[in-house]
Amino acid sequence: MNDLWVALGLVLALEGTLYALAPGAAKNFVRQILDLPDNVLRTGGLAALAIGVAIVWLVRG
């Protein structure tokens, strides 16, 4: 369970860094995402999921 909290903390730290360093770029990125079709977002989400699972699998063995 500790690993889950650590992972959540890392996600929040990385996202917070993005918004703190480049808030304008983050807003533009969100605007661009809103214009994408659902299937593109779904494909990107599935790709991110697969990469994330692969990284955890490789690191944790």
Per-residue confidence at 61, pLDDT binned at 50, 70, 90? confident
In whole angstroms, give the CA distance from residue 6 to residue 12. 10
Domain ranges of the chain: 23-61
CA–CA distance, 22 with 14 (Å, rounded to integer):
12
What's the rounded mean pLDDT across residues 27-56?
A: 95
Q: What is the pLDDT of residue 41?
A: 96
Give this prediction's pTM.
0.72
pLDDT, position 17: 96
Q: Which two tokens stand for residue 26?
A: 């983050």
- CB-based contact 28:35 (threshold 8 Å): no
Q: How far apart are CA 35 and CA 49, in angstroms?
A: 22
